[in-house]
Every structure is written in C-alpha cells, then in structure tokens.
C-alpha cells in the first residue's frame, strides 16, 4: 500500500552537509557561531531590530511575555482556534488567558471578538496565524493602540505567508516563529522571537540561557570570566546543529512553499465539485503558508468514520487544531461558538512539499468515497 503521510519534512543532502560543518567546528551546543549567523539572517529577512533563536515557539512566547512584563493576575486575550501554546505561555507567567473567537472563513482571530473582551485587567493580545493563514493585523493593531495593549504575532505556522505585502513574522511589534518538523522551514524542533525592540530582544536572549551571557562568547575572552546570574532564566537555547539546518531551510523557503502552494491549488481543483467539504479560502490581501490543509466537513458527515477509512487506506489525516476554551486544563466558562464548530468539523489531509500528483489524486479519491459512505442523507 502506498502510504501518504499527513506531514513530511523536506530535509536532504544540503542539510546533512551543514550538520557536518557543525561537527567539524567543535561547537554543537546553543548560542554558538551558527546561531549568531542565523539570528542576523532572521533579523535581516524580517526587517526587525532583534532576533533570538530558541528551542521552540512555546519558549519564544514565554520569553516574549516575560520581556513584556506580564504579571500574575493580568489578562491576555488569545486566539481560541489554535494549538494551545499561546494560552500555555500566558499561564506560565501566572496570567489569565481570555479566549477570543475566530472568523468562520479563515479560522483566524476575529478582531471584533478581541475588542469585546478588553477589560480593566487586559494587558495584551496574542494573535495566531492559524495553520499558516495570517490574522487581520490592520484591525488588531488599531485595537491594541486604542487600548494601550501589546500585540504579539504567533506566526508558528506561517513562515513564507504574507499580509498586505508584508511577511508573517513582521506583522506585530513582537512575533514568534516555529521550526517544528511539520513547518515550511524546519530543524525538527526550533523557534525564534522577532522584535522591533532591541532591549526586548536582549532581555529574551539573556533569559533563554539561564539568565547569563552566552558561554560561547565568554569562552573567547582572555582570562577567566565568571558569569553573574542577574535574572532567573531558562534553558531555551537552540543548538548550533539545528541553527545550521535552519539556515539551509530558510534559503529553500520559496522553493518549498511553491510546492505546497501547488498542492493546495490541486486539492482545490480536485474537490471543487464536492458538496460535502469546503476547501480553504484565502482573502485577497494575504497569502497562506500551507502548514496544513484543513477541509471543513458538512455537518452531515461523520468525521471520525471518514478519518478511520483514510487511515485504513494508508492516508494520514488529523482533526485540524484545537478549540482551546474547551480544554479541561483552562477551566473556563467562556463560549467561542465558531471555534467550537471548526474544532468539530475540520479535517486535515496530507500537506507537505513532497506530495506527488498521483498521491493527491489518491487522497481525494479515497476521501470522496469515505464522504459518501459516512454522510447522513436528508429527505
């Protein structure tokens, strides 16, 4: 059986050669020469004052909230329909995540829902570029400015996407990227914090290394420098092995994204006449990074049964992402009906740069059969 995985990392000989160079350098750990060059390349790519390479996007979000001075009891409005990393980060600093509902057409946070949730304890907003689709930053920035709130862009899924001609990752004063294995640019795990504020970047870099300056820099000083711990920090460093891989991957972003766009376009063609699914719609003022390809199933379709059929035939699939306000860990009585509906009806089908035309046709053929077999007929 030809297996068609849901995700697949596009890693090859170029990345292996970059890793070999790190082995030869004698510095595979974090915040070394490869990491420094990566940070400079990220700052240049996104036109920001500071970039901090870290172990994952969750770490970047945590560092961002610490640097922004979020305190226990503060409220931070977060997009609801997403992997719950933003809400987790809010809880890491003892603050309260307040969940904002999303747009039905894009799955991104609804600016009006954000505005309606601003209260006396609100200090900021974390918007999410949902599975690669940038949020509505023009309206979100107006809201943040009106109420004196910080705005953070969670661009974990959106490397290569754009909004009004600007790259995702440069759409808010602070942004966080992910380089997880399913992203458009990956080192298996990894992340970055991007900011227009050099002081905020310096704070995040210090906290990412236990609260001290990089050991690599200290090792090059003549004498015996003894680090002084001035902040409680974390071990959020990105290894130089991962940094080297990422430098190659970022150079391949356009190539890999073009292939993902071709996959999305072909899916849209193959499913154009399928009444039981709605394919993703991308507004004209932005482009999608296509981390995932989410179909919205007709309410008559038994999603679990369709997924079982796909997996039985060797085709990877998933539920999409989460309606965070429904997760028991948050114990909230909030209601986000659009997010809850998408959580029940979205289905992720294979999306990556290595998919062949034959595989795409096979996925849609098996999907069509499963949809017909597992949908309730109306009279």
**107 found inside a domain:** yes
Is pLDDT above 70 for 378?
no
My answer on whether 247 and 260 are in the same domain is: no
pLDDT at residue 29, as a whole number:
87
| Structure token digits, residue 203 | 């704070």
| 102 and 168 belong to one structural domain | yes
pLDDT of residue 218: 67
153 and 210 share a domain?
yes
Mean pLDDT confidence for 336-364: 98
Calculate mean pLDDT across residues 169-182. Answer: 97
Q: Which of 26-40, 185-199, 265-279 has the lowest mean pLDDT?
A: 26-40
Domain that holds residue 326: 253-373
Q: Is the pLDDT score of 224 beyond 90?
A: no
299 and 187, same structural domain? no
Average pLDDT over residues 120-136: 98
| Tens digit of each residue's pLDDT (9 = 90 or more) over 89-119 | 999 999 999 999 999 999 999 999 999 999 9
Q: 312 CB contacts (<8 Å, ≥6 apart)?
A: none
What is the average pLDDT across 305-309?
Answer: 98
**What's the domain count of the chain?**
2
Find, among 141, 180, 145, 152, the residue nearest to 64 by Cα.
Answer: 152
Q: Is 287 within a domain?
A: yes
Would residue 378 count as lying in a domain? Answer: no
User: What DSSP character marks residue 101?
Assistant: P
Q: What is the pLDDT of residue 219?
A: 67
Does 8 map to a domain?
A: no
Q: Which residues, 6 or more positions from 196, have their beta carbon under 8 angstroms from its beta carbon?
A: 48, 49, 173, 174
Collapsing DSSP to helix, strand or coil, 192 comes out as: strand
In a domain, 121, yes or no: yes
Considering only CA atoms, give the Rg of the chain: 21
User: What is the arithmetic mean of pLDDT over 208-227?
Assistant: 80
Are both 205 and 326 inside the same structural domain?
Answer: no
Which residue in the list 71, 183, 237, 333 is annotated as catalytic?
Answer: 183
* Backbone dihedral angles phi then psi of residue 232, each to the nearest 5 degrees: -75, 115
Q: Are residues 17 and 27 in the same domain?
A: yes
Is the pLDDT at 379 greater than 70, yes or no?
Answer: no
Boundary of a domain, candidates 225, 251, 277: 251
pTM, rounded to two decimals: 0.96
In a domain, 144, yes or no: yes
The closest alpha carbon to 128, from 108, 101, 104, 105, belongs to 108
Report the share of the chain in percent with pLDDT over 70.
Answer: 98
Task: Please give the order of strands across the beta sheet that includes 277-278.
Answer: 277-278, 293-297, 346-349
105 shares its domain with 223: yes
Torsion of CA 316, 344, 118, 87, to 10 degrees: -40
pLDDT surpassing 70 at residue 195: yes
Residues 166 and 247 in one domain: yes
Q: Are residues 187 and 204 in the same domain?
A: yes
Q: Are residues 171 and 313 in the same domain?
A: no
Residue 5 lies inside a defined structural domain of this protein: no
* Distance from the Cα of residue 347 to its chain's centroid: 18
36 classed as catalytic: no
Last residue of a domain, one of 251, 283, 307: 251
Residue 30 has pLDDT above 90, yes or no: no
Residue 107: which CATH number? 3.40.640.10
CATH number of the domain where residue 315 is located = 3.90.1150.10
Same domain, 129 and 273: no
Given 236, 251, 266, the domain boundary residue is: 251
The answer to whether residue 6 is domain-embedded is: no
Tens-digit pLDDT profile for residues 136-157: 999 999 999 999 999 999 999 9
Q: What confidence tens digit (pLDDT) does each residue in 247-265 have?
A: 999 999 999 999 999 999 9
Mean pLDDT, residues 253-279 taken together: 98
Residues 241, 282, single domain; the answer is no
What per-residue confidence (pLDDT) applies to 214?
78
Average pLDDT over the chain reads 96
CA dihedral 309, 311, 312, 315 (to 10 degrees): 100
Q: Say yes or no to pLDDT of 221 above 90.
A: no
């Amino acid at each position: 059986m030809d297996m068609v995985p849901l995700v697949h990392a596009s890693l090859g000989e170029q990345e292996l050669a970059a890793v070999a160079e790190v082995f030869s350098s004698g510095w595979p750990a974090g915040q070394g020469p490869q990491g420094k060059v990566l940070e400079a390349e990220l700052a240049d790519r996104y036109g920001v004052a500071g970039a901090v390479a870290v172990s994952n996007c969750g770490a970047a979000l945590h560092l961002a909230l610490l640097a922004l001075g979020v305190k226990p009891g503060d409220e931070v409005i977060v997009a609801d329909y997403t992997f719950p990393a933003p809400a987790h980060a809010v809880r890491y600093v003892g603050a309260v995540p307040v969940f904002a509902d999303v747009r039905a057409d894009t799955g991104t946070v609804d600016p009006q829902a954000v505005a309606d949730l601003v209260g006396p304890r609100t200090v900021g907003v974390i918007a999410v570029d949902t599975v690669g689709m940038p949020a509505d930053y023009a309206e979100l920035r107006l809201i943040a400015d009106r109420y004196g709130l910080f705005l953070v862009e969670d661009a974990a899924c959106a490397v290569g996407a754009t909004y009004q001609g600007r790259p995702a990752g440069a759409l808010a004063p602070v942004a966080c990227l992910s380089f997880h294995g399913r992203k458009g640019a990956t080192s298996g795990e990894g992340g970055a914090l991007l900011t227009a504020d050099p002081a905020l970047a310096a704070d995040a870099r210090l906290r990412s290394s236990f609260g001290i300056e990089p050991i690599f820099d200290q090792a090059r000083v003549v004498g015996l420098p003894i680090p002084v711990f001035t902040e409680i920090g974390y071990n959020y460093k990105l290894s130089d092995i991962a940094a080297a891989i990422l430098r190659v991957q970022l150079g391949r972003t356009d190539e890999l994204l073009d292939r993902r766009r071709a996959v999305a376009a072909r899916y849209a063609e193959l499913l154009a006449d399928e009444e039981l699914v709605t394919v993703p719609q991308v507004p004209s003022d932005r482009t999608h990074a296509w981390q995932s390809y989410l179909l919205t199933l007709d309410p008559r379709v038994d999603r679990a049964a369709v997924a079982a059929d796909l997996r039985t035939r060797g085709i990877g699939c998933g539920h999409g992402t989460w309606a965070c306000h429904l997760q028991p860990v948050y114990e909230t009585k909030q209601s986000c009906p659009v997010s809850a509906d998408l959580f029940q009806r979205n289905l992720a089908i294979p999306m990556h740069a290595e998919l062949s035309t034959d595989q795409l046709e096979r996925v849609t053929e098996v999907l069509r059969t499963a949809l017909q077999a597992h949908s309730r007929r109306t009279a």
